[in-house]
């Protein structure tokens, strides 16, 4: 099983700069050098992780980039659907608590959670039939191919903010929206250290494995089946409207990809990735604002995860994640929305009618106490 790579996520925060073991994450890069910032984030979240019993979400500084047989940092973050937004809107445990079923108590990825997903997929598959159609995983918010699965995870800063603001239940979010609309609370804003990832995995066929295709992917083995990581979205609160980036496997895109579906990588894959499984991944693009300096609408999507609406806008879609005081969640009017959101979605006669969920659709996985 291939498991490898990354950089360290030890935050030695100093003003606007976070120094890591082998990478410096400078928040100013999010605006000024977005491609470089994206690759530094990629190195950070894909560093081999410590055994979660010794510190969940921390890098193992004794392992270098490309170490086989390791689990990467983001895979030990909290899984949104199963470890953050619990049944009946229950308060999730502290970050380092490993008592929930499926937690990474072995120091590996929560195998039980991935196993459950794979077992569900077996129920909807017809034999070994495979097809190009994609469908939406409502649990984890990821488009993925038949025989694959998706997952969304949040780091400690994001998770602890959800807990402290009681955003883990529909009622908690509705209470916040009510206070915001009444002018009792400011707009929702996560800490600058907040990060989320959204990943898509594709099942590799026995023929692919026999021919060695699996050695080109970051792979997880589940019940004698291998799944290769095909796409990874990484977003951070480095800037007010979040920093958006997406990576994908070089073999994961259609050969007839439309021009303009990806934004240019002005930095390039770091040389430190050469000779590791991660040399087979590329930056699909970044996004920092709704418009360019000349007024053009910005675009960002991934041709695998957003197959049916490529050339869309991450920031526009997520900006429309909102909840009203009654608890009703609201999203974009169209998955093809680009540019800035319409203020009428948030205001009526100049007064707020709903609270923006600070661009995080993951909050919509909250369940009701009732």
pLDDT at 51 over 90: no
pLDDT winner (highest mean) among 2-11, 145-154, 301-310: 301-310
What confidence score (pLDDT) does residue 138 get? 41
- pLDDT band of residue 197 (cuts 50, 70, 90) is very high
Q: Output the pLDDT for position 158.
A: 98
More confident residue, 219 or 115: 219
Output the CA–CA distances (angstroms, integers) from residue 246 to 17, 151, 264, 306, in the order listed: 22, 14, 12, 11
Q: Of the given ranges (29-43, 110-124, 212-226, 342-356), which has the lowest mean pLDDT?
A: 110-124
Q: Is the pLDDT of residue 224 over 50?
A: yes
What's the whole-number average pLDDT of the chain?
82
Asked whether the predicted pLDDT for residue 129 surpasses 50, the reply is no
Between 220 and 103, name the one with better pLDDT: 220
- Indicate if the pLDDT at residue 184 is higher than 50: yes
Average pLDDT over residues 243-269: 87
pLDDT in tens, 302-341: 887 777 778 899 999 999 999 999 999 998 888 789 999 9
* pLDDT at res. 114: 53
pLDDT at 140 exceeding the cut of 80 = no
Which of the two residues, 81 and 1, has the higher pLDDT score?
Answer: 81
Both structure tokens of 89: 């809107």
Percentage of residues of the chain with pLDDT beyond 70: 81
The pLDDT of residue 81: 81
Question: 9 or 340: whose pLDDT is higher?
Answer: 340
Per-residue model confidence (pLDDT) at position 107: 40
Q: How confident is the model at residue 14 (pLDDT cuts 50, 70, 90)?
A: very low
The pLDDT-based confidence of 368 (bands split at 50, 70, 90) is very high
Strand 24-26: give its sheet, edge to edge: 12-14, 17-19, 24-26
pLDDT higher at 135 or 319 = 319
In this prediction, residue 97 carries a pLDDT of: 87
Q: What is the pLDDT of residue 313?
A: 93
Rounded to an integer, the average pLDDT of 146-153 is: 72
Q: How confident is the model at residue 210 (pLDDT cuts 50, 70, 90)?
A: very high
Percent of the chain residues topping a pLDDT of 90: 56
123 pLDDT above the threshold of 80: no
What are 61-120's pLDDT values in tens digits? 888 877 887 889 998 899 888 889 999 999 999 999 887 754 544 444 444 455 555 555
Q: 44 or 116: whose pLDDT is higher? A: 44
Tens-digit pLDDT profile for residues 261-303: 788 999 999 999 999 999 999 999 999 999 999 999 999 988 8
């Amino acid at each position: 099983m291939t498991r490898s790579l990354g950089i360290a996520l030890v935050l030695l925060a100093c003003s606007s700069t976070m120094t890591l073991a082998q990478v410096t994450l400078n928040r100013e890069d999010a605006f000024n050098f977005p491609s470089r910032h994206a690759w530094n984030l990629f190195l950070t979240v894909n560093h081999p992780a410590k055994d979660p019993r010794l510190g969940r979400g921390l890098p193992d500084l004794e392992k270098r980039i490309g170490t086989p047989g390791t689990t990467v940092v983001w895979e030990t973050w909290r899984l949104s659907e199963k470890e953050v937004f619990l049944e009946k809107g229950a308060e999730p445990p502290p970050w380092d608590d490993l008592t929930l079923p499926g937690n990474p108590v072995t120091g590996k990825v929560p195998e039980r959670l991935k196993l459950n997903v794979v077992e569900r997929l077996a129920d909807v598959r017809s034999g070994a039939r495979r097809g190009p159609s994609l469908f939406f995983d409502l649990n984890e918010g990821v488009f993925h191919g038949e025989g694959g699965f998706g997952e969304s995870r949040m780091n400690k800063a994001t998770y602890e903010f959800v807990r402290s603001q009681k955003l883990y239940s529909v009622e908690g979010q509705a209470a916040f929206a009510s206070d915001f609309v009444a002018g009792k609370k400011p707009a929702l804003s996560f800490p600058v250290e907040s990060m989320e990832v959204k990943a898509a995995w594709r099942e590799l066929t026995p023929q692919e494995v026999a021919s060695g295709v699996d050695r080109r992917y970051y792979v997880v083995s589940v019940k004698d089946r291998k799944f290769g990581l095909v796409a990874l979205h990484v977003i951070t609160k480095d800037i007010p409207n979040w920093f958006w980036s997406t990576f994908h496997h070089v073999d994961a895109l259609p050969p007839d990809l439309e021009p303009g579906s990806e934004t240019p990588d002005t930095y390039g894959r770091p040389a430190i990735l050469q000779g590791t499984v991660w040399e087979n991944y590329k930056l699909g693009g970044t996004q920092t604002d709704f418009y360019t300096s000349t007024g053009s609408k910005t675009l960002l999507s991934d041709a695998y995860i957003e197959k049916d609406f490529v050339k869309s806008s991450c920031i526009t879609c997520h900006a429309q994640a909102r909840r009203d005081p009654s608890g009703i969640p609201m999203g974009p009017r169209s998955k093809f929305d680009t540019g800035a959101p319409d203020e009428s979605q948030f205001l009526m006669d100049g007064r707020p009618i709903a609270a923006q969920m600070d661009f995080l659709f993951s909050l919509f996985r909250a369940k009701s106490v009732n």
